[in-house]
Amino acid sequence: MSQLKHIAAITMVRNDDFFLQRWVEYYGRELGKENLYIYYDGDDQTIADFCQGTNAFVHPKIGNHVVAAEKARLKFLSEKASLLFSEGYDLVIGVDADEYIVVDPCLGLSLKEFLSLKEINVCLSPLGLDFGQKIGEEGDLSLSKTFISQRHYAQIGTRYTKPSIISQSCRWGSGFHRVKGHNYHIAEDLYLFHFGYADSKILRERLGDADRVAQGWEKHICKRSRTIKYATEKKARDFDRCTRFARICQTWCRPPYALNKPAMFELKIVVKIPERFNDVI
């Protein structure tokens, strides 16, 4: 194994301590808590006790509408990532609190070991998997067990194939969905697991959150919650075969309106997650 790289993970969060707690647990184990940088969006937020050992800060609230706020949020996080490079980090991972970048367990490598073996020119993307809840089979999501032991179905989604890992100062677009002015490169055996719409109870709570509704999140939440419908109703397909296809497809296919984002012909492919992932998150 070559020398391990110095890697930071950065996020901004508002009213989302449930997923943030697992985020801290996971990335703290993979990278070390001292390399986690968490920004609470709004002076009305309180840093949770589980953030002890991380670099957690309360920041004045950024914007009051989802579109403008997202642009400002990612500008802020891009600037913070640039500062981390100036402080000696080799790589910075930028993800939301409900997103977890996972190395295929078949490799037997930690996230830090995997990324240390990669030569990354500007950015690297994991393949995105958007987890749903299979109604009638899967209950409420709990922090008492690993997430993947409770959620077994995910849609292969281009929205979550993000250039989340960067090796130099650059500018993320809204939601970390692209790096402005640069192409993206999808790594083999690396996945971004998104759990934000994987629980019907949490979604109902979000739709009842007056703060989120006031910022214009209601339509977005309703649209993305279709992942639960897909997980419940669509036949799950083979994970390894479909992710291999998706990685090739997303590498070569681009939407005409954004040539530095992946596309996949609007295919709605649901896969069943192999048991080898059960203990990861």
Q: What is the 3-state secondary structure (H, E, C) of 21-80?
A: HHHHHHHHHHHCHHHEEEEEECCCCCCCHHHCCCEEEEECCCCCCHHHHHHHHHHHHHHH
Residue 114 φ/ψ, nearest 5 degrees: -60, -50
Taken in order of first residue, the domains within the chain and their CATH numbers are: 7-277 (3.90.550)
Q: Which long-range contacts (CB under 8 A, 24 or more apart) does 83-87 make?
A: 84/8, 84/10, 84/37, 85/168, 85/169
Strand partners, 111: none
User: Per residue in 1-48, pLDDT tens?
Assistant: 569 999 999 999 998 999 999 999 999 999 999 999 999 999 999 999
pTM of the model: 0.93
191: alpha, beta or left, given left = phi > 0 and alpha = psi -120 to 50?
beta
SS3 275: helix
Assess contact for 148 and 40: CB atoms under 8 A.
no
- 249-to-102, 175, 194 alpha-carbon distances in Å: 20, 22, 20
pLDDT score recorded for residue 235? 97
DSSP character at residue 179: B
User: Per residue in 171-206, pLDDT tens?
Assistant: 999 889 999 888 889 999 999 999 999 999 988 887
SS3 181: coil
163 or 266, higher pLDDT: 163
User: Per residue in 230-254, pLDDT tens?
Assistant: 999 999 999 999 999 999 999 999 8
Assess contact for 48 and 36: CB atoms under 8 A.
no
Measured CA to CA, the distance from residue 15 to residue 208 in angstroms comes to 12
